Amino acid sequence: MKVTLKVWKQNGKNGQGELKSYESPDVSPDCSFLEMLDLVNNDLESKNQEPIGFDSDCREGICGTCGMVINGVAHGPGHGTATCQLYMRQFKDGDVLTLEPWRATAFPVIKDLVVDRSAFDRIIQAGGYISVGTGAAPDGNAIPVPKENADLAMDAAACIGCGACVASCKNASAMLFVSAKVSHLALLPQGEPERERRVIAMVEQMDKEGFGACTNEGECEAACPKQISISNIARLNREYWRAKLLEQPVRVEKGG
C-alpha cells in the first residue's frame, strides 16, 4: 500500500514549524505505524536527508513515549492503543496522513514530533509517591484492601503518562493524568499518610506548569490508550477540597 505523510517539522520550541510531505510507496498492511516511520527514515538517511524526529521506546504500549497526533486524533484511529500498537492495516491505500506533535504550552516541541513532557515528571516529584516502608510483596499483600478499591487503584495505576489526555483536550488540561496518579495512592492504605499534602502539591504543580482547566467534556478518556476513566477526575476534586478543608485552622469559640 502507498501512503503520503504530511509531517510537522520544527527545530526547538522557538523554531518556525511547517508541514512537509513524504511518500511511503510500498508499505505492508502488517507493518506497525512506527515501523513504517522507520522505513521512511531509512530511505531519507540513504539520500543524506534529515530523518523525521519521533519518540519511541518499548513499542509495546507500556512506556508512553510514542505519542503523536495522527489526522487530528491523539495516537491515531486505534481505540485504547498507543501509537506503537497502531498497524497500517487500519489505513487505506492512498491515504494522506497528517502527523503532528502534542500541542500544549506545557509540552514544548523539541524536534518535529518529539515534545518535552518533563512537566509530568515535576508533577510526580511534587507528591506522586509514598514515604512509608511497604516491605516486600508478601508484606504488601498482607494489608487488607477492599476488592473494589484494589480494582480502582489498579485501573488508575495503568496510566502510562503519555500525554494524550493533554493533547486531546481543548484546554490542554492534565487533570486525567494527575487524577490517575492521585487516585492510585488515595485508594490504598499505603498512600494515607501523605494523602492531603500529596493532592494539594500535585494540583498546585500542575497549575504552575501551565496546563489548562478541565471542563469535563471527556476527550481525554476517549483518547487515553489505557482507557483511564474520568471518574478519577471527580475523585481528584473530592480529594483536593477535602485536603483544603482539613488544612484550615480549627476555630475555637470562647463561651460568654
Last residue of some domain: 87, 111, 135? 111
* 134 in the same domain as 77: no
Quick one: pLDDT at residue 136? 76
In this predicted structure, the answer to whether residue 48 has a pLDDT above a threshold of 90 is yes
- Which tens digit of pLDDT belongs to each residue from 197-209? 999 999 999 999 9
* 107 in the same domain as 153: no
Quick one: pLDDT at residue 140? 65
* 103 in the same domain as 122: no
* 126 in the same domain as 66: no
* 131 in the same domain as 20: no
Last residue of some domain: 111, 141, 165? 111
Decide if 252 is inside a domain: no
- Which tens digit of pLDDT belongs to each residue from 71-109? 999 999 989 999 999 999 999 999 999 999 999 999 999
* 165 in the same domain as 87: no
Quick one: pLDDT at residue 254? 60
Last residue of some domain: 64, 82, 111? 111
User: Which residues partner with 74 through β-bridges?
Assistant: 69
In this predicted structure, the answer to whether residue 256 has a pLDDT above a threshold of 60 is no
Using DSSP, state whether 253 is helix, strand or coil: coil
* 140 in the same domain as 219: yes
Q: Model confidence at 251, in pLDDT bands (50, 70, 90)? A: low
Query: What CATH number should be reported for the domain holding residue 11?
Result: 3.10.20.30
Quick one: pLDDT at residue 77? 95
Decide if 157 is inside a domain: yes
Decide if 63 is inside a domain: yes
pLDDT average, residue stretch 225-245: 96
Quick one: pLDDT at residue 248? 67
Q: Which three cell numbers stand for residue 108?
A: 514544548
Q: Which three cell numbers stand for residue 6?
A: 504530511
Decide if 144 is inside a domain: yes
CA distance 66 to 75: 8
pLDDT average, residue stretch 138-148: 81
Decide if 27 is inside a domain: yes
Rounded to 5 degrees, what angle do the CA atoms 229, 209, 195 make?
Answer: 55
Query: What CATH number should be reported for the domain holding residue 165?
Result: 1.10.1060.10
* 177 in the same domain as 85: no
DSSP code of residue 84 = G
In this predicted structure, the answer to whether residue 141 has a pLDDT above a threshold of 80 is no
* 230 in the same domain as 127: yes
Decide if 254 is inside a domain: no
Percent of the chain with pLDDT over 70: 95
Q: 213 with 236: CB under 8 angstroms?
A: no
Q: 162 with 76: CB under 8 angstroms?
A: no
Phi/psi at 232 (5° precision): -65, -30
Using DSSP, state whether 49 is helix, strand or coil: coil
In this predicted structure, the answer to whether residue 132 has a pLDDT above a threshold of 80 is no
Tell me the C-alpha to C-alpha distance, in Å, between residue 48 and each of 7, 42, 45, 51, 250.
Answer: 18, 10, 5, 9, 69
Decide if 251 is inside a domain: no
**Lowest mean per-residue pLDDT among 89-98, 142-151, 158-167:** 142-151
- Which tens digit of pLDDT belongs to each residue from 1-21? 999 999 999 999 999 999 999
Q: 123 with 181: CB under 8 angstroms?
A: yes
Question: How many CB atoms sit inside 10 A of residue 46's CB?
Answer: 8
Decide if 31 is inside a domain: yes
| Domain region containing 121 | 117-246
**Lowest mean per-residue pLDDT among 30-34, 75-79, 249-253:** 249-253
* 128 in the same domain as 107: no
Domain total in the chain: 2
Q: What is the overall mean pLDDT for the chain?
A: 93
* 238 in the same domain as 166: yes
In this predicted structure, the answer to whether residue 139 has a pLDDT above a threshold of 80 is no
* 64 in the same domain as 32: yes
**Lowest mean per-residue pLDDT among 37-51, 120-134, 145-159:** 120-134
